[in-house]
């Protein structure tokens, strides 16, 4: 096993969390180090004005308890107490962090396969910890060996069951009134939905029964995922649920990911409902309770979302993809709600954290408030206005050069670089973003109808898959992609290899331009 300082922590400590395969990337030693560094970076010790304790939970992955124990020991050795809540969904950990006003750590790999585990960290009040808000410093401290100048009294460890409080709180936020009796199929994917659904939607936490008949699928907690991966964003993982909804003539179906912080919805026809449409639905409900409020949506949600927000008297605010950006923007704008096309939904009344269960309650309550005979598909019809491609990943070695080529191709359209490149027109838009961890470009396309969407999708994919010519003389690929001679012809440029010094030559007018430190000097004589 390599030492902590020798590991490529940039691979394990990602933009929003710690995540890797167990035990070769993420093991007990690293968990212990993260615990200690977490205390140091966030200033958790009570003697230094901090909260003095960290709340910790884990999902159903077999490695969870051992990793929690090591993390907790690191926290305790750094002079802080640990409150262990045991098995929990990620939004259950956020509830504990928010209600107890303590920083927290959730051990989960979310939707990733069985061999993975990870750690999601938050400050007191469920405030996010990402690369720009602590993770980078944690990584640097671990790389340096976490040298402590003094020894601290060993912190205590205690256990607390927050599930009943969590269930009660969610029920209070989104009441499901005694309306229509609904049949709901729930696919927990052997993840933490099998732990939280009986408490929130059932009576396992001692709460009154709701007007629901729950048909459970794969509620057994099993981190080996024997039925299918707990990743409902992949259509193959929804097939069982779709069949069950039709078989049972259910009103709707719910699918949770591994840590149950995301929820995907299936209508009575067995068709998947887009998270953008769910975002629009919840926005109308939150705006009815809080008129005129701000609502956050990321830039790859459907145009339907800002349209619906405006139609309901709210103010739509567009942000980058990623929960830390949405949570930060919600804090700055006091937004009542935020939604992402990935199935994350954020609520001001839930410490601006994401909760798949709250989204599920909103869908159930909205349908339950309608007259008998109204289907979820008909309820959602006003929120399905455009045709979308879904996210398409393409392996691209030179991401910057490809984006530069697309920029050049669509230079006459509305362009913005809030997150990657977004190109917009009256009846369509698309976004291309680079993956933070893989040589991938992610494409999302939306248009007024399927024909236009497919045409645009195929055109952009052709550009993304075209070979990119390498730039000469150290010129940046993104600059080379748009470079042309400043003469009237704007002719293409080529390297002049016979020249004693780096030069570019115009293939039309034969003008030559020196290149100095990778920068062309583009002046006509």
Dihedral over Cα of 210, 215, 217, 220: its sign: positive
478 pLDDT higher than 70: no
Least reliable range by pLDDT among 82-86, 282-286, 341-345, 418-422: 341-345
**CA separation (Å) from 117 to 25, 28, 84, 106?**
9, 11, 18, 10
Question: In this predicted model, what pLDDT tens digit does every residue of 155-189 receive, in sequence order?
Answer: 999 999 999 999 999 999 999 987 799 999 999 99
Integer Cα distance of 367 and 287 in angstroms: 17
Kindly report, residue by residue over 390-433, the tens digit of the pLDDT: 999 999 878 888 898 899 899 999 999 999 999 999 999 999 99
Q: Give the pLDDT confidence of 219-261 residue by residue, as tens digits.
A: 999 999 999 999 999 999 999 999 999 999 999 999 999 999 9
Determine the Cα–Cα distance for residues 113 and 115; give it in Å rounded to an integer.
6
Q: Which helix (H) or strand (E) holds 263?
A: strand 263-266
Task: Output the pLDDT for position 5.
Answer: 63
For residue 47, how many other CB atoms are within 10 A of its CB?
A: 10
Could you say which DSSP state residue 13 is in? B
Just list the catalytic residues: 110
pTM for this model (two decimals): 0.88
Mean pLDDT of the chain: 93
Angle at 59 between CA 57 and CA 61, to 5 degrees: 130
Q: Give 322's pLDDT tier (boundaries 50, 70, 90).
A: confident
DSSP 3-state assignment of 383?
Answer: helix
Q: From CA 493, how far away is CA 470, in angstroms rounded?
A: 13
Q: What is the pLDDT of residue 477?
A: 64
pLDDT of residue 396: 86
Question: What is the per-residue pLDDT across 5-34, written as a single tens digit (0 to 9) for each?
Answer: 667 898 899 888 999 999 999 999 999 999
Query: What DSSP element (H or E) covers 84?
Result: strand 81-87
Confidence of residue 197 (pLDDT cuts 50, 70, 90): very high
25 against 474, higher pLDDT: 25
The pLDDT of 326-331, averaged and rounded, is 93
Which residues have C-beta within 8 Å of that of residue 2, sequence separation ≥ 6? none
Q: How confident is the model at residue 474 (pLDDT cuts 50, 70, 90)?
A: confident
Domains in the chain: ranges and CATH:
4-163 (3.40.120.10), 180-273 (3.40.120.10), 275-354 (3.40.120.10), 387-465 (3.30.310.50), 472-520 (no CATH)
């Amino acid at each position: 096993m390599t030492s902590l300082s020798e590991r490529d922590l940039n691979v394990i400590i990602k933009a929003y969390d710690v995540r890797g395969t167990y035990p070769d990337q993420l093991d007990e030693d690293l968990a212990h180090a993260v615990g200690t560094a977490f205390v140091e970076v966030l200033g958790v010790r009570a003697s230094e004005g901090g909260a003095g304790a960290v709340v910790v939970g884990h999902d159903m992955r077999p490695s969870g308890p051992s990793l929690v124990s090591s993390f907790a020991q690191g926290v305790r050795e750094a002079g802080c107490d640990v409150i262990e809540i045991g098995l929990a969904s990620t939004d259950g950990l956020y509830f504990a962090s928010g209600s107890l006003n303590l920083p927290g750590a959730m051990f989960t790999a979310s939707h990733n396969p069985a061999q993975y585990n990870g750690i999601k960290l938050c400050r007191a009040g469920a405030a996010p910890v990402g690369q720009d808000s602590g993770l980078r410093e944690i990584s640097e401290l671990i790389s340096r060996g976490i040298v402590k100048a003094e020894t601290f009294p060993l912190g205590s460890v205690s256990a607390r069951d927050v599930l009943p409080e969590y269930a009660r709180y969610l029920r209070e936020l989104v009441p499901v009134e005694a309306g229509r009796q609904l049949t709901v199929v729930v696919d927990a994917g052997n993840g933490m939905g099998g732990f939280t659904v009986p408490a929130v939607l059932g009576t396992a936490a001692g709460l009154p029964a709701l007007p629901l008949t729950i048909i459970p699928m794969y509620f057994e907690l099993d981190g080996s995922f024997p039925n299918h991966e707990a990743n409902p964003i992949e259509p193959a993982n929804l097939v069982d649920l779709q069949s069950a909804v039709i078989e049972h003539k259910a009103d709707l179906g719910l699918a949770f990911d591994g840590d149950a912080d995301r929820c995907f919805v299936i209508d009575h026809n067995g068709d998947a409902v887009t998270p953008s449409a769910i975002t629009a639905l919840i926005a109308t409900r939150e705006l009815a309770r809080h008129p005129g409020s701000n609502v956050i949506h990321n830039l790859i949600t459907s145009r339907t979302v800002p349209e619906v927000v405006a139609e309901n008297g709210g103010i739509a605010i567009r942000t980058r993809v990623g929960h830390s950006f949405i949570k930060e923007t919600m804090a700055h704008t006091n937004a009542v709600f935020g939604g992402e096309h990935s199935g994350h939904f954020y609520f001001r009344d839930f410490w601006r954290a994401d909760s798949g269960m709250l989204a599920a309650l909103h869908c159930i309550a909205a349908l339950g408030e309608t007259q008998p005979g109204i289907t979820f598909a008909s309820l959602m019809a006003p929120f399905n206005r455009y045709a979308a491609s879904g996210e398409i990943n393409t392996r691209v070695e030179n991401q910057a050069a490809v984006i530069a080529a697309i920029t050049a191709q669509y230079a006459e359209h509305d362009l913005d670089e809030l997150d990657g490149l977004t190109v917009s027109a009256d009846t369509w838009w698309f976004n291309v973003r680079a993956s933070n961890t893989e040589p991938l470009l992610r494409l999302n396309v939306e248009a007024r109808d399927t024909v236009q969407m497919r045409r645009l999708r195929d055109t952009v994919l052709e550009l993304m898959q075209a070979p990119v010519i390498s730039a000469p003389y150290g010129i940046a690929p993104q600059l080379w992609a748009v470079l042309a001679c400043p003469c009237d012809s704007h002719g293409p440029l080529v390297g002049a290899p016979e020249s004693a010094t780096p030069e570019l030559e115009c293939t039309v007018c034969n003008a030559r331009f020196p290149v100095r430190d990778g920068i062309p000097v583009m002046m006509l004589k």
